[in-house]
Amino acid sequence: MIEFYLNDRLVRVRNVSPNTTLLNFLRSELGQTGTKEGCAEGDCGACTVAVKMWTQENEGTYRSINSCIVPLPSMHQRRIYTVEGLKKKGEYHPVQKAMVEALGSQCGYCTPGFVMSLFAACYREDLQEDWQKEDQICGNLCRCTGYRPIRDALNKTAGTGGGDHFQKILSTPRTSRALSYHNQEEAFFIPTSLDELWKVWEIAPAATCFSGATDLGLEITKKRKRFGTLISLEEIPELKTIEDQDTHWYLGASVSLSDIESFSQENIPSLARMLRYFGGRQIKNRATLGGNICTASPIGDTPPVLIALDAEFVLCSRLGSRVVRAEEFFEDYRKTALQDQEILAAVRIPKLPLGVYAASFKVSKRRELDISAVSLSVFLDVEAQTGIVRALRLAYGGMAAIPKRAYKTEAQLVGRTWTEEHVVHALMSIRDDFAPLSDHRASAWYRTQVARNLLLGLYHETLSHQNKLPPRHASTLILEQNS
């Protein structure tokens, strides 16, 4: 049986397909019609609800998620709030009042989703910068207001929650989310340890594993696929840790991208900046680092960054664990080095030495909520006195069937001085490294030209930042988004 709290009321669920989304259940079974469906793929934010989750510091927090792509059983033992549940003792919630006072609603279709994103922001203490507030609502679209009044409501209420009913809920104790749910020929499992995972795999060897379901949800909503058995990896502690391992950062594969982004701001800046434009806050609150890697998309955002940083992937099975370099993990289009009943457990990223550049570029049609046409991530080590390139890794996305390094271009620059003349000469090697395809996002010619321009842009950025490097990491981060 699936159990969760909706607007502080316990809900018990039986005889429902595990392929049912949270949104469909809220609307069709529970009458919570304030939550809307706009796109059914996590882009528009009309379906936004708030869920009590836990931070890396084991503190309760509210996070906005896209209910349209979340399998209902994933919410087992969660506390969920919709727009209908914010009014208490006859009083509207402060974010609702702020939206009314700022005239933040016109047609009203998107309003419940915005209200729930603002609700989550109300209880966040880390929204200090304007870009952080923008990020909180970038996953919500509005075609009427022009966003200004909504931003006004957000600025008025962000971080102001405290002492009310919802704040007290955050301090309620954590409960086990282990689940073994069956409905006719379908099943859904949430193991809470690796040992439990191996046992589930014994009885369901053909099961599909996932964590955040931001890709799997699209299989259900867009391709109308029905999964027989699903295994959620989101509650296995061994996959959810972030550790400082002296020379490396250890990032669990099931850590959410929003947590990875927060951690990386100070520690892995090029990864943090790429994640800033990865997707909406609702997506990042559910999506995981391991999921973005294991989908093995040639235009995935994080793999080029990890390849450039010379990361290692820790793979785990009942037989033990092994380590594979990031650039060796991707074998062909959508094919990885994972073997049968083996999972990605963690990513190990070497700490950056002083004096190096770690840079990330992403080119897409839209600045946010869009898949890249081409991306470039770079590790560059230039000898300070001579200006000679000691080490260089250029990892591209969108230029081949897999994220891939430009080895021939790198060879043109390593051992030579980091000058515009040498960089311009090396640009011609891009065509020797890649033979990109044309598709609806970009032509092969365009991708080649952009790949060259990004490398040249890197050179000019290194010049402009050479006297402004962050003292702790001495690394710069760059992201370019072009229309």
Query: DSSP of 305-319, one letter per residue?
Result: HHHHTT-EEEEEETT
- Give 179-236's CATH code, choosing from 3.40.50.2000, 3.30.43.10, 1.10.645.10, 3.40.630.10: 3.30.43.10
Question: Measured between alpha carbons, how far is 107 from 43 in angstroms, rounded to an integer?
Answer: 19
Residue 350 in contact with residue 248, Cβ under 8 Å?
yes
Query: DSSP of 439-462, one letter per residue?
Result: -SS--HHHHHHHHHHHHHHHHHHH
Residue 480: what pLDDT? Answer: 38
Q: Alpha-carbon dihedral of residues 302, 308, 312, 317, nearest 10 degrees?
A: 40
Three-state DSSP at 165 gives: helix
Give tens-digit pLDDT for 304-341. Answer: 999 999 999 999 999 999 999 999 999 999 999 999 99
Residue 482: what pLDDT? Answer: 40
Question: Measured between alpha carbons, how far is 269 from 9 in angstroms, rounded to an integer?
Answer: 41
- How is the chain split into domains, by residue range? 2-171, 179-236, 239-464
Residue 74 CB partners (closer than 8 Å, separation 6+): 22, 190, 213, 232, 234
Residue 95: what pLDDT? Answer: 98
Of the candidates 384, 385, 428, 375, which has an alpha carbon nearest to the alpha carbon of residue 405?
375
The topology (CATH level 3) of 2-171 is Ubiquitin-like (UB roll) (3.10.20)
Of the candidates 107, 101, 109, which has an alpha carbon nearest to the alpha carbon of residue 150?
101
Question: Measured between alpha carbons, how far is 365 from 175 in angstroms, rounded to an integer?
Answer: 43
Residue 128: what pLDDT? Answer: 87
Residue 475: what pLDDT? Answer: 36
- Give 239-464's CATH code, choosing from 3.30.390.50, 3.30.1330.120, 3.90.780.10, 3.30.300.280: 3.30.390.50
Question: Measured between alpha carbons, how far is 341 from 438 in angstroms, rounded to an integer?
Answer: 35
Residue 70: what pLDDT? Answer: 99
Residue 367: what pLDDT? Answer: 80
Question: Measured between alpha carbons, how far is 201 from 231 in angstroms, rounded to an integer?
Answer: 9
Question: Measured between alpha carbons, how far is 448 from 363 in angstroms, rounded to an integer?
Answer: 12
Question: Measured between alpha carbons, how far is 146 from 137 in angstroms, rounded to an integer?
Answer: 13
Report residue 89 as tokens: 């003792």
Question: Measured between alpha carbons, how far is 421 from 149 in angstroms, rounded to an integer?
Answer: 49
**Average of per-residue pLDDT values in the chain:** 94
Residue 465: what pLDDT? Answer: 65
Each residue's pLDDT expressed in tens, for the chain with a length of 483 residues = 999 999 999 999 999 999 999 999 999 999 999 999 999 999 999 999 999 999 999 999 999 999 999 999 999 999 999 999 999 989 999 999 999 999 999 999 999 999 999 999 999 999 989 999 999 999 999 999 999 999 999 999 999 987 899 999 999 999 999 999 999 999 999 999 999 999 999 999 999 999 999 999 999 999 999 999 999 999 999 999 999 999 999 999 999 999 999 999 999 999 998 999 899 999 999 999 999 999 999 999 999 999 999 999 999 999 999 999 999 999 999 999 999 999 999 999 999 998 899 999 999 988 878 889 999 999 999 999 999 999 999 999 999 999 999 999 999 999 999 999 999 999 999 999 999 999 999 999 999 999 999 999 999 999 876 533 333 333 333 333 343
